[in-house]
A and B are shown apart, each in its own frame.
Chain A
Amino acid sequence: MTAALQVALVRVVTVAVLLGAWQALALSGVVYQDVVPPLGPIVSAAIATVLDPGFYYDAAVTIGEILVGYVLATAAGLAVGVVLGLSPFLRGAFMPYVDALATTPKIIFLPIVMLGFGIGPSSKMALGAIAGFFPVVLSTAAGLVEVEAVLVRVGRSFHLTPWQMVAKVYLPAVRGPIVSGMRLGLGVVVIAVLLAEIKFSNAGLGFRAIDAYNHFRIAELYAVLAIIFLLAAAVNGAMSRLERSFEK
């Protein structure tokens, strides 16, 4: 058996075992079927969700929030990352704060952005921007710090102008770290936006999930969560592919 076939087999069996275990648990009567519905009702809830025009409105709200938050996060993260990466003094002064905030759970800042931006989509964009900022800033700064000194010296010995230094020396060297920071950033923006929607909102996919929970439409809750996961996995897969194509 070839290795690729083996891997595929393991994966198929893994998924089958997980789904089978769920179904067995649902039908066993050990737990209430309201809490663990069988796969049938979940699939039909997923189909009903995808056929509901309101789902596309919610998806559009969430995607809009993610895009705005991500653009802000990337722009601010790149700008600050370049400054911190090039100045050892500013790095020493501000990196402790960046590190401290980067390790904090970002959802905890939701009350602050809601005081500033209200309960609507702009607070979700702001929280997404805050969350996505940190991976971009950290990897941009780290990428610049690690540009090899010898490359910089070669550039200097060719008397490159500052602009040429950026275009010929720094940019090619930091492209990889920046793209991987942007991939991580998108992931955390997605999480921050959806969590904020779950906590306080009146539209979006996160709202849809928590609304199903609050009205005890449990099959629909699982269906919406599964759809969110598939979308997030698709986005992450696309970004990983982009990252690999940059590395070549």
Chain B
Amino acid sequence: MSIRGPAVAILRRPLVAAFIALVVLAAIVEAAVAGGLISPLVVPRPSAVVLAIGKLWTTEDLPLAFAETLAEAVAATALAAAVAIPAGYLMWRFAALGRAWRPWLGALFAAPTVLLYPLFLVFFGRSHVTIVVMGALTAAIPIALYTLDGLRAVRPALQNVGKSFNLRGGQMFWKIQFPAAAPTIFSGLRLGLIYGLVNVIGIEFLIVYGGLGRIVSEMYDNFEFPEMYAGIVFIVIVAFLLFWLLERGESAARSL
């Protein structure tokens, strides 16, 4: 009893259960493929996929591909910020612009903007520019919306302090309003980076150019299915880790 008790308690911990569920699922798939229930041409053996990650690491230079994808996503976010933060400011400064454009931006966020990529292919061809511009297109929307909302939400008490010091418009903006809105703008940048990354990987896959997304498409075209699955698994892990790190980083920065 004294031995079984703690063991069962550990099993009840969700993350342990999560890991066990994954291992069990992998074992079932492994057995189903080995037993011929599932064709290895549809789902390769999980063990083969794990080995294929190692192979991709060396033959396809997975770390370099990851760096390329990340660089594209960061460039996309920077490009988006350069346009979207001033746009958010304008929408705040001129209320009519905010009222006219904000609902459009919200609708655009749900719209299939990624479908516009053939249009940018026409302009820029299969290149990093197409990927970065497409990433920036999605990243810009949350950044503009959060900039606007952050500036709108600056507490009147802070602005009154500024007024009591007789701050002029520019001083008021840089000393009071912008710093007060900065945390919200950073949330927008974080979301922009995530949406940018998602779109960058998607476009890489679609136009077979760049980093991680390109690898998946190439492996599919070469019928190298374990490697293709390995690329997808790697993307899922990378996307999740980045998401988690940014969220952690932001809450850590806020608690400083």
Classify the interface of chain A: helix, strand, loop or mixed: helix
Alpha-carbon distance A218/B107, docked complex (angstroms)? 26
Alpha-carbon distance A210/B117, docked complex (angstroms)? 10
| Size bracket of the B interface | 35 or more
Binds B, one of A53-61, A72-80, A105-113: A105-113
- Nearest-CB distance from B103 to chain A (Å)? 9
Whose C-beta in chain B lies nearest to the C-beta of A205? B115
A93 partner, pick from B21, B97, B228, B237, beta carbons under 8 A: B21
Docked-complex contact B240 and A103, CB < 8 angstroms: yes
Alpha-carbon distance A193/B108, docked complex (angstroms)? 18
Docked-complex contact B118 and A108, CB < 8 angstroms: no
Given A206-B115, A233-B111 in contact, is the A108-B96 Cβ separation under 8 Å?
no
Docked-complex contact A3 and B14, CB < 8 angstroms: no
- Nearest-CB distance from B19 to chain A (Å)? 9
Residue of B119, B199, B228, B237 with most partner-chain A CB within 10 A? B119
Docked-complex contact A109 and B232, CB < 8 angstroms: yes
B118 partner, pick from A91, A107, A115, A225, beta carbons under 8 A: A225
- Nearest-CB distance from B75 to chain A (Å)? 17
Residues of chain A at interface, number, CB under 8 A: 55
Whose C-beta in chain B lies nearest to the C-beta of A239? B110
- Nearest-CB distance from A114 to chain B (Å)? 8
- Nearest-CB distance from A220 to chain B (Å)? 11
B110 partner, pick from A103, A104, A187, beta carbons under 8 A: A187
B162 / chain A contacts, CB cutoff of 8 Å: none
Alpha-carbon distance A110/B216, docked complex (angstroms)? 10
Binds A, one of B145-153, B166-174, B201-209: B201-209
Judge if A184 is at the interface, Cβ distance under 8 Å: yes
Alpha-carbon distance A89/B206, docked complex (angstroms)? 38
Docked-complex contact A218 and B112, CB < 8 angstroms: no
Given A14-B101, A191-B112 in contact, is the A94-B118 Cβ separation under 8 Å?
no
Number of A-B contacts (CB under 8 A): 145
A169 / chain B contacts, CB cutoff of 8 Å: none
Judge if B121 is at the interface, Cβ distance under 8 Å: yes
- Nearest-CB distance from B212 to chain A (Å)? 9
- Nearest-CB distance from B113 to chain A (Å)? 9
In B73-128, which residues have CB < 8 Å from any A CB? 96-97, 99-101, 104, 107, 110-112, 114-116, 118-119, 121-123
Docked-complex contact B119 and A221, CB < 8 angstroms: yes
List, sorted by A's number, 30 A–B pairs whose CB atoms are closer than 8 Å: A6-B96, A11-B100, A14-B100, A92-B14, A94-B21, A97-B22, A100-B236, A103-B239, A105-B198, A105-B199, A107-B205, A107-B206, A111-B217, A111-B220, A111-B228, A111-B232, A112-B228, A112-B229, A114-B220, A116-B42, A191-B114, A195-B112, A198-B115, A198-B118, A209-B118, A210-B118, A213-B121, A213-B122, A221-B118, A229-B112
Chain B interface residues (CB < 8 Å from chain A): 12-15, 17-18, 21-22, 41-43, 96-97, 99-101, 104, 107, 110-112, 114-116, 118-119, 121-123, 194, 198-199, 201-202, 205-206, 213, 216-217, 219-220, 225, 228-229, 232, 235-237, 239-240, 243
Q: Beyond the given A99-B243, A195-B202, could you list 20 further A-B residue pairs with CB under 8 A, ordered by the A residue number?
A: A3-B96, A6-B100, A14-B100, A92-B18, A93-B21, A97-B18, A103-B239, A103-B240, A105-B199, A105-B235, A108-B213, A108-B232, A187-B110, A190-B112, A191-B115, A194-B112, A222-B119, A225-B116, A228-B112, A229-B115
8 A-B pairs closest in CB distance = A92-B14, A100-B240, A10-B100, A111-B220, A93-B17, A105-B202, A187-B110, A6-B96
